[in-house]
Chains A and B, each alone.
Chain A
Amino acid sequence: MTRSAPLALLALVLAGAGCGGAGGGGEDDARRLTLYSGRSEELVGPLYDRFERATGIQVEARYGDSGELAATIGEEGTGSPAEAFFSQDAGALGAVAAGGRLEPLPPELLRRVDARFRDPEGRWMGVSGRARVVAYDTRKLRPAELPDTIFAFTDPRWRGRMGLAPTNASFQAFVSAMRLAVGDERTRAWLEGIARNRPVLLENNIQTLEAIARGEIEVGFVNHYYMYELRQERPDLPVDNHFTRPGDPGSLVNVSGIGLLEDSPEARRFAEFLLDVEGQRYFATDTDEYPLIPGVRPDEALRPLAEIQGPDVRLGQLGAKLPSTVELIREAGLTP
């Protein structure tokens, strides 16, 4: 009893839990899609519900951080249950693609979005656009006081007034884009200049906005739509978005994107849905992002995508730059 019982019990509990968990796998009538979602349930859960209603395909979504999910797909190897990966940013998709895990997307689907916003080899494509902005404290700064280029923030007058998230994927993508636009030396000088100004280092975009709202910093480098997200919780948020001039790396337009790990009809149907009018409208109205297909207009409060412009880079090039970009940010002293 003493020695064998614990092991027997352990085996029993594990077996029982196993049966319980695996029980759902038996029903084959319903069509299913196993989706790894780097975008949160709060933001895109209602969209998946609409997809289920429209197609009868049941979405089994695993939510998580895009980078973690990319690492998970890597560690799962070919045993991965994921059929599709909806990522918060292009970098994580690039990493999964580089591991040889993404199936090519149908050309007619790829053609729906501008070539800037997809993988040149057609393994992933953008779904919704987001612009980099300089968020600022409307209580302390007027728009006219803000520079029209991101390079001006190395000026000592910004010392101790800035915040950024150096480990955040969208900040890294922005630095990669800057390298492609103006070269490594200017980028390194910019990073070092920013580091000399002792910015407050935060974890992500939301934290950066909150730091502005509570008066800890006056400006922060973030994606444009987090402000709208926070306003739902706090309508009186004293933060607004400032765009740098067209062509400036400070207003890079990046995307969330989709890649397929299995070329199943369900997975393809899902990608099509995201890039159809209904899916694109959802991003325009519910998440305050930029739709990427022609004919669906962004929310009127947003600056039109054509006016933002950003640096002339293809997002498909950013993935390969990522490791050396992370190293560059570290060497500048912004990460340990």
Chain B
Amino acid sequence: MTALRRAGRSPRLPSPLLTAAAALVAAACALPLAYLLVRAASGGSAAWSVLARPQTAETVARTVALVTAVTLGATTVGGTLAWLVERTDLPLRRMWAVAAALPLAIPSYVAALALLATLGPGGALSRAVPGAGAVDITGFPGAGLALILSTYPYVYLLTAAALRRADPALEEAARGLGRSVRAVLFRVTLPLARPALGAGALLAALYALSDFGVVSLMRFDALTRVIFQQYRTLFDRTPAAVLGLVLVVLTVIVLVLEARARGRAASRAASTASRPAPPQALGRWRPVAVAFCAVVVGLALVLPLGVLGFWTLRGAAGAGLSAEVVTPAVNSLAVSLGAGAVATVAALPVALLVVRDPRALTRGLERLAYAANALPGVVIALALVFFAARYAGAVYGTLAVLMFAYLVRFLPQALSGARTALLAVSPQLEEVARALGRGPRSAFAAVTLPLAAPGLLAGAAIVFLSTMKELPATLLLRPIGFDTLATEVWTATSVSAYSRAAPAALLLVAVAAPIVLHLTARPDRHSRRGAEGLGAG
């Protein structure tokens, strides 16, 4: 078997072609980076004095603190929810499974607005409860909470999927050997879920690094907010570019840390679950678990929907509702579907290369793809403005450039999905197909692709959702007159017309919700089809 694998490795996947495809994708992602270097270099030594300011160090420290808190918070919340839903006798498991994932349909700036409307200065709480006037969630607590509520679903979905796929036999064996619930959780379940937890934590960290809407609403001077303000006020793009490079360095550090933590977990799981795991009894912890789920879902889902509903009703009672959200809704759907497809297709060669041929070079390619993604949308957008208007005038101002921006921004999400999916497929299955006479492409298409399909689809769905909610790049790069739901919400909130913004935001959530529901659906059907494909070979 070992001999077969070794012999099979390179001829099965002719590396040059695959590497070329992956390099092309990575090069596309490197454009914003190239832009930052061009800008920073054009400014001379004065631009670099930005780095020597004490305020810059403070800004970096604040950003690191926020990203750390959000990553830990999102991983803890998302991981706990996944375990409760997939492995315990939590009451109403199916309901929680859906409710815990649904906040993915809510843009993070809407989550932040809802928190401010209730827990902000002069919010509903301080008005309703005398003595609570000092309640003020702005700054670090508000930014951290809003970002945790917006990013934990990534961790939850990836981890829950991993737990569903994992063979329960291992945990049963551990229990059979007399291990406690706790020991099984920490010694068996957690290691099984580690790649998924890591991938989710990485997404949460990157999201927190690149988010602009939440930190600006919460008035927290993270790096993105400072960069954005530099762009907006100084017109001299050089200091902002230097700070953008600082952000890239932070991203690379996150990636290196994640790779270290991932460690040897990168070895592929040899099996796919054939049956669901029997639930563990929570016993006296059941009320605590239910309360935990209720608080998370309440803050992340019920609160934003409630606030949006309130604003919509207030608007309906006042000026009446506008029906002009149909075209933006169709536009949002179209570009989001396109972005999901493009990003997934582009992620496949990179993920294949990383999973099957993990050399330093391929790792570098993968990291490049990630590093570009942490840049705030406005930097990516300006980079594409720079290159497209100067060197590709024919496509500038068309949807092509916008799709390209989505690809650069959200490739890592597709990549995470693809990598996790491919890791879970044992290469031995494909080897068997090869041994039975299939060609390399045919074996991949008949065996690996169907088995990885649920993971790839999940990645595509996450890209779809992110695109629905994306704002800065859409604003700068959309064709003139091309409105999406997100830009409609922005246009209305920028003049504080919340009651006009709320219907578009609700529609945005309504369009995104079915995709989230699809993500929580059990992928049994796909696994079977994968097995059938193998049988046919």
Contact A233 B398 (CB under 8 A): no
Those of A80-97 within 8 Å (CB) of chain B: 80-81, 92, 95
- Residue of chain A at shortest CB distance from B385: A75
Known contacts A10-B342, A60-B481, A68-B476; A335 and B399 CB within 8 A of each other: no
Q: Is A323 an interface residue (CB 8 A)?
A: yes
In the bound complex, CA of A230 to CA of B493 (Å): 11
- Residue of chain A at shortest CB distance from B498: A233
- Residue of chain A at shortest CB distance from B318: A233
Known contacts A10-B345, A68-B231; A40 and B491 CB within 8 A of each other: yes
In the bound complex, CA of A126 to CA of B381 (Å): 29
In the bound complex, CA of A61 to CA of B480 (Å): 6
In the bound complex, CA of A322 to CA of B494 (Å): 24
Q: Is A330 an interface residue (CB 8 A)?
A: yes
- Residue of chain A at shortest CB distance from B55: A336
Q: Is B156 an interface residue (CB 8 A)?
A: no
What is the CB-to-nearest-CB distance from A7 to chain B, in angstroms, rounded to a whole number?
Answer: 6
Contact B398 A21 (CB under 8 A): yes
What is the CB-to-nearest-CB distance from A212 to chain B, in angstroms, rounded to a whole number?
Answer: 9
Q: Which residues of B contact A2 (CB under 8 A)?
A: 440-441, 444-445, 449
Contact B221 A336 (CB under 8 A): yes
Q: Is B5 an interface residue (CB 8 A)?
A: no
Total residues of chain A contacting the partner, CB 8 A: 65
In the bound complex, CA of A77 to CA of B440 (Å): 48
Contact B55 A214 (CB under 8 A): no
Contact A13 B341 (CB under 8 A): yes
In the bound complex, CA of A20 to CA of B382 (Å): 23
What is the CB-to-nearest-CB distance from B42 to chain A, in angstroms, rounded to a whole number?
Answer: 12
Selecting from B16-24, B68-76, B267-275, B522-530, the interface stretch reads B16-24
Q: Is A76 an interface residue (CB 8 A)?
A: yes
Q: Which of B21, B389, B395, B441 sits near A18, CB closer than 8 Å?
A: B395
Q: Which of B233, B475, B495 sits near A167, CB closer than 8 Å?
A: B233
What is the CB-to-nearest-CB distance from B403 to chain A, in angstroms, rounded to a whole number?
Answer: 5
Q: Is A298 an interface residue (CB 8 A)?
A: no
Contact B234 A216 (CB under 8 A): no
What is the CB-to-nearest-CB distance from B475 to chain A, in angstroms, rounded to a whole number?
Answer: 6
Q: Is B496 an interface residue (CB 8 A)?
A: yes
Known contacts A75-B389, A77-B390; A214 and B400 CB within 8 A of each other: no
Known contacts A21-B397, A41-B491, A77-B389; A9 and B480 CB within 8 A of each other: no
Q: Is A201 an interface residue (CB 8 A)?
A: yes
In the bound complex, CA of A201 to CA of B123 (Å): 18
Contact B382 A75 (CB under 8 A): yes
Contact B492 A42 (CB under 8 A): yes
Q: Is A53 an interface residue (CB 8 A)?
A: no
What is the CB-to-nearest-CB distance from A26 to chain B, in angstroms, rounded to a whole number?
Answer: 13
Q: Which residues of B contact A92 (CB under 8 A)?
A: 235
Q: Is A250 an interface residue (CB 8 A)?
A: no
Q: Which of B21, B133, B338 sits near A13, CB closer than 8 Å?
A: B338
The contact string, 1 if C-beta is below 8 Å from chain B, for chain A 199-222, is: 001110010001101111000000
Q: Is A74 an interface residue (CB 8 A)?
A: yes
Q: Which of B235, B395, B499 sits near A74, CB closer than 8 Å?
A: B235
Q: Is A265 an interface residue (CB 8 A)?
A: no
Q: Which of B55, B234, B475 sits near A326, CB closer than 8 Å?
A: B234
Q: Which of B122, B385, B403 sits near A14, CB closer than 8 Å?
A: B403
Those of B332-353 within 8 Å (CB) of chain A: 338, 341-342, 345-346, 348-349
Those of B387-410 within 8 Å (CB) of chain A: 389-390, 393-400, 402-404
The contact string, 1 if C-beta is below 8 Å from chain A, for chain B 489-520, is: 00110111111000000000000000000000
What is the CB-to-nearest-CB distance from A38 to chain B, in angstroms, rounded to a whole number?
Answer: 11
Q: Is A197 an interface residue (CB 8 A)?
A: no
The contact string, 1 if C-beta is below 8 Å from chain A, for chain B 444-479, is: 110001000000000000000000000000011001
What is the CB-to-nearest-CB distance from B235 to chain A, in angstroms, rounded to a whole number?
Answer: 4
- Residue of chain A at shortest CB distance from B117: A214
What is the CB-to-nearest-CB distance from A271 to chain B, in angstroms, rounded to a whole number?
Answer: 19
Q: Is A229 an interface residue (CB 8 A)?
A: yes
Contact A336 B219 (CB under 8 A): no
Known contacts A75-B386, A79-B390, A216-B122; A67 and B480 CB within 8 A of each other: no
In the bound complex, CA of A240 to CA of B162 (Å): 58
In the bound complex, CA of A335 to CA of B235 (Å): 17
Contact B55 A7 (CB under 8 A): no
Q: Is B532 an interface residue (CB 8 A)?
A: no
In the bound complex, CA of A210 to CA of B385 (Å): 34
Determine which residue in B216, B393, B400, B441 has the highest number of CB atoms from chain A within 10 A of its CB, and name it.
Answer: B400
- Residue of chain B at shortest CB distance from A3: B17
Q: Which of A67, A74, A172, A229 sits near B495, CB closer than 8 Å?
A: A229
Contact B382 A71 (CB under 8 A): yes
What is the CB-to-nearest-CB distance from A283 to chain B, in angstroms, rounded to a whole number?
Answer: 16
Contact A21 B496 (CB under 8 A): no
Q: Is B427 an interface residue (CB 8 A)?
A: no
Q: Is A189 an interface residue (CB 8 A)?
A: no
Contact A75 B237 (CB under 8 A): yes
Q: Is B280 an interface residue (CB 8 A)?
A: no
Contact A210 B496 (CB under 8 A): yes
Q: Is A149 an interface residue (CB 8 A)?
A: no
Supplied contacts A3-B349, A214-B120, A322-B233, 16 more A-B pairs, CB within 8 Å: A2-B444, A3-B18, A3-B441, A14-B404, A18-B395, A71-B231, A72-B476, A75-B237, A76-B385, A79-B389, A81-B397, A213-B122, A215-B122, A216-B122, A233-B496, A233-B497
A-B contact pairs, 9 of them (CB 8 A): A3-B349, A13-B341, A24-B479, A40-B494, A42-B494, A63-B475, A210-B496, A215-B122, A326-B233
4 shortest interchain CB distances as A-B pairs: A214-B122, A21-B398, A67-B232, A79-B389
